[in-house]
A = this chain, B = another copy of it.
Amino acid sequence: ENVDWRTSNKIIRLPGLVDVHVHLREPGATHKEDWDSGTATALAGGFTMVGAMPNTNPAIMDDASFELCKSLAASKARCDYGIFIGATFTNTTTAGKFASDAMGMKMYLEETFAPLPLKDDINVWRDHIMNWPGTTPICVHADGRNLAAILLLGWMYDKHMHVCHVSHKEEIDIIRDAKKRGMKLSCEVSPHHLTLCDKDIPRIGAGQSEVRPKLGTEEDLNALWDNIDYIDMIATDHAPHTWEEKCSAKPPPGFPGLETSLPLMLTAVHNGRITIEDLVMKMHTNPIRIFNLPEQPDTYIEVDMEQEWTIPKKPLYSRCGWTPFEGLQVRGKVVKVVLRGQIAFIDGKIIAQKGFGLNLRSKEYQVEKERLL
């Protein structure tokens, strides 16, 4: 630990954070975010790897869309990344061929901001799970009984199921008890579901508070903290929409999260809700292990543990221009990010160039990694 005497602050070094669940909105909605702004906001938040969700436009679900997304990412990303393949009604027999090139497969079992809903059809769910080669996880957006149903299918066909953004008592109860019974599965929770509940809706605004899964009750929030030992990772579910869109008559669901997640979680460390060791486990070690991601050589972040600040209305780098955490007091700030030996972010400034980021599942990444080791 380095102590910076000039400001009486305590600077600690952490490994590069990994966020397996972000929406970068490109292709299709670059007014909300793109591979450039999205990976810049990731670096500003201390993340050196992100997993990009496939509910773009076009959705990432076949050769053409996967190649398009790969080339957009290759030319614009500033941090390392993986790309998810989306499960659809039409690609049950072909999604599996992306298993080793994709970050994983994403299945949307609920209505959400997605062109990829697999609503109610258990035969399609079963086909996808049976056909997935299983080298990387199957990530599911599933509530309540759909969660129970999909976990059974994963267990039956011995696949690794990863539950996205656990939000309510009913889901964490099932996940905890399934783990206790010996089921191999993993799950993530987002900082907003660990920080906000329905009591925050008046402050944030009704339309602005729309997010899927919805903000829970205080009981839901407490259930997540009570079962934090059963939660494998923190993932932001960074889902930017512009302030104008969030103020419209039909506000789309989703919050930005990349720049605010670590400060919010460090504040929880200060409040004694989680240890810094557990935080590193949930924001680096577990995502790397569970998603079978490569370690990044010469990569770390520096965090000022003591700096107190108020979250401003606008993130520095996300194109969305707002955050539901506006006005919250937090303690802890990312001051520097070093990615594969290069300073990528320092003192609020992005240094990494567009295109510096690499696809974690690519051959190119292996070559670069070996060069550095």
Contacts and interface: CB of A to CB of B under 8 A. Distances in A.
A122 B170 contact: yes
Nearest to A109: B145
Contacts of A151: 152
A156 B181 contact: yes
Contacts of A148: 122, 148-150, 152-153
A4 to B, nearest CB: 50
Interface stretch (A92-100, A171-179, A296-304, A352-360): A171-179
A170 B170 CA distance: 26
A2 interface: no
A294 interface: no
Contacts of A126: 170, 173-174
A123 interface: yes
Contacts of A156: 174, 177-178, 181, 183
Contacts of A122: 144-145, 148, 170, 174
A309 interface: no
A146 interface: yes
A55 to B, nearest CB: 21
A370 interface: no
Contacts of A178: 152, 156
A181 B155 contact: yes
Contact of A149 (B120, B123, B152, B157): B152
Interface string A153-188: 101111000000000001001100110010100000
Interface of A: 120, 122-123, 125-126, 144-153, 155-158, 170, 173-174, 177-178, 181, 183
A-B residue pairs, 8 tightest by C-beta: A148-B149, A145-B149, A152-B152, A149-B149, A122-B145, A148-B152, A122-B144, A156-B177
29 contacts: A120-B145, A122-B144, A122-B145, A122-B148, A122-B170, A123-B170, A125-B145, A126-B170, A126-B174, A145-B149, A147-B149, A148-B148, A148-B149, A148-B153, A149-B149, A149-B152, A151-B152, A152-B152, A152-B155, A152-B174, A153-B174, A155-B155, A155-B181, A156-B174, A156-B178, A156-B181, A156-B183, A157-B177, A158-B181
Given A123-B170, A126-B173, A145-B146, 11 more contacts: A120-B145, A145-B149, A147-B149, A148-B150, A148-B153, A149-B149, A151-B152, A152-B152, A152-B155, A155-B181, A156-B178
